Chains A and B, each alone.
Chain A
Amino acid sequence: MNPLFRKYVCIAAVALLLAILPIAASMLGQEYYISLFSRILIYAIAAVSLDLLLGFSGMISLGHAAFVGIGSYVVGIFFYHSAEMEPLLTHPFTVQGSENGLIVIPLAVLVSAIFALVIGALSLRTKGMHFIMITLAFAQMIYYFFVSLEKYGGDDGLSLYARSTLPGLDLGNDLQFYYLCLLLLSLFLLFTTRLVASPFGIVIRGCSNNERRINALGINAYGYKLACFVIAGAGAGLAGALLANQTEYVSPGLMHWTLSGELMVMVLLGGLGTLFGPVLGAAAFLLLEEFLAMYTEHWMLYLGPFLILVVIFAKRGLYGVLVGGGKDHG
């Protein structure tokens, strides 16, 4: 079969499956799966955004969860102030809390992007191992900052009593929330797919292969890598905002480096540099966690060998197994 055709068939099949899944789940009386798959879609957004860094621009960030956490805390903190009827900020101007999704979700994306801009601007002055360590260090700094932030629950985190409001939608309804996540994941995949094939995208992919050559062409690699880091951070922030809504709970655990590691596993499992792969990776990871955890709390013991086998034998992860053929980009 033509690999390109096979790729489209596979993507269409997965899309169709995700589209009818909640309907099938309600018919079978297994509504629980709707919320499990909402989680999968949200983690998929975070994993796809990390793939932009790991798979396309060659920036190995071990602090990606920081942006997920920041996105979720923006939603959590605005909710808290709205519920307590207490202004979030009084000087130099007054900022009130909010539960409006049209405000807090874009704001979560924006704040994550700003954090990514600052962290990226500093981290990208280093390369290789140092870059890995400095992104990890920043993420852990932010983690401990929120752990010590007693006002918002410290390491106990913050409970939300409801999900964000959106005009015409009831996000408290799991079905509607699921389709919102699916829509946002689809839009994010569309954007990232266009991105990696754009003039910006070839610069980024060029950087991962040979940054010195990019500079020799008269392109300042730093600016492009930073922009990519910000885009990835914004994507993670979106995932964080959705995750806060999905669980109605935010905690510093979302910024812990173990979550950064899990996102990395999802990308590798699904297929590095494939964009659609990390969606499969997120699904495989969370489903394995879900089902293995039923039998043993040491489920990581079984996930580990599985990951090793996938990484050794399927170079492009589950995506490669499904789609096969040559590399379409990267």
Chain B
Amino acid sequence: MAEMLLEVASLNKSYGAIQATQDLHLNIEKGHIHALIGPNGAGKTTLVNQLTGDIFPDSGRIIYKSCEITRMSDYKRARLGIARSFQITHIFENLTVAENMALAINARNGHSFHFWRNSLKSSIVTANLDNALARVDLGHRARLKASHLSHGEKRQLEVGMALVGNPELLILDEPMAGMGSGGTVELSKLISSLKGSVTILLVEHDMDVVFSLADMVTVLVYGHNILTDSPTNVRTNKEVQAAYLGESVDA
């Protein structure tokens, strides 16, 4: 049997009367690009937030590399190799592109309790900065304030920061949201280039992207996993079409 990187069992989370996650089971195989789809309000981001430790479930278990992390705080999970990008771009707009990346590099290499030395001149940063920026094609933007980047570039920077330190599980929460078609192609290329080296949980609305990249697709409806299968099977499944895909698949 294939090795599972992440196992979610009987997960429940509700906000008042709204059951955002309902008896959810999900296994993510190591090395896969695992897509998570579902209509708006299906609880995709709620699930992601429970995986990263932003919020805790009401009940259930989350196992990462055979270690239970259900109630572990977010920054500890990040240290275990779970990196994420947010649905709404979360970069540090008040820092330069290089400083953003340096922050991620320092975070992956122990603490940042250095008060005197310049952040961009430490050996660990100089050794990794150029590569980290080049990987997401932002080398020429290094000195620019992050707030001046285009939307697509901000996304690239965010994914680049998540990739620093080679995480084992990369969670991308709607990375294509709000991007032009050019940016979508660029980012798809980047994601497919990561295939095999890092396990990716991809939350995405763009079906073309999902079906071209994913090894496995999970369909979430009302916080419940109604189907996990290969992209081909998901595409042809009647229940899924009724619940979610509708006409968009035939179009």
> Given A199-B102, A199-B106, are A219 and B112 neighbors across the interface (CB < 8 Å)?
yes
- Cβ-neighbour of A218 out of B107, B113, B115, B125 (below 8 A): B107
Decide: B84 and A216 in contact? CB cutoff 8 A. yes
CB of A9, distance to nearest CB on chain B (Å): 22
Decide: A330 and B94 in contact? CB cutoff 8 A. yes
Tell me if B99 is interfacial: C-beta within 8 Å of chain A: yes
Decide: A200 and B113 in contact? CB cutoff 8 A. yes
> Given A202-B102, A203-B103, are A218 and B116 neighbors across the interface (CB < 8 Å)?
no
Cα-based distance from A293 to B106 in the complex (angstroms) = 51
Tell me if A197 is interfacial: C-beta within 8 Å of chain B: yes
The stretch among A10-18, A150-158, A205-213, A245-253 that forms the contact with chain B is A205-213
Residues of chain A within 8 A (CB-CB) of B54 are 212
Decide: B115 and A194 in contact? CB cutoff 8 A. yes
Interface string of B91-121 (1 = CB under 8 A from A): 1111100010011101110001111111100
Chain A interface residue count, CB cutoff 8 Å, equals 29
Main SS class of interface, A: helix
Residues of chain B within 8 A (CB-CB) of A203 are 103, 106-107, 112
Tell me if B52 is interfacial: C-beta within 8 Å of chain A: yes
The stretch among B73-81, B128-136, B197-205 that forms the contact with chain A is B73-81
Decide: A210 and B75 in contact? CB cutoff 8 A. no
CB of A274, distance to nearest CB on chain B (Å): 13
Closest to A330 in B: B94
> Given A206-B103, A216-B52, A217-B161, are A197 and B119 neighbors across the interface (CB < 8 Å)?
yes
Decide: A218 and B79 in contact? CB cutoff 8 A. yes
Residues of chain A within 8 A (CB-CB) of B74 are 215-216
- Cβ-neighbour of A200 out of B73, B94, B114 (below 8 A): B114
Chain B interface residue count, CB cutoff 8 Å, equals 36
Tell me if A26 is interfacial: C-beta within 8 Å of chain B: no
A residues touching B (Cβ–Cβ < 8 Å)? 191, 194-195, 197-203, 205-206, 208-210, 212-221, 224, 227, 327, 330
- Cβ-neighbour of A219 out of B84, B99, B107, B117 (below 8 A): B107
Decide: A209 and B95 in contact? CB cutoff 8 A. yes
Decide: A199 and B112 in contact? CB cutoff 8 A. yes
- Cβ-neighbour of B94 out of A194, A199, A205 (below 8 A): A205
Decide: A213 and B94 in contact? CB cutoff 8 A. no
Decide: B119 and A202 in contact? CB cutoff 8 A. yes
Decide: B107 and A213 in contact? CB cutoff 8 A. no
Decide: A206 and B95 in contact? CB cutoff 8 A. yes
Most central of B103, B117, B161 by chain A CB within 10 Å: B103
Decide: A210 and B92 in contact? CB cutoff 8 A. yes
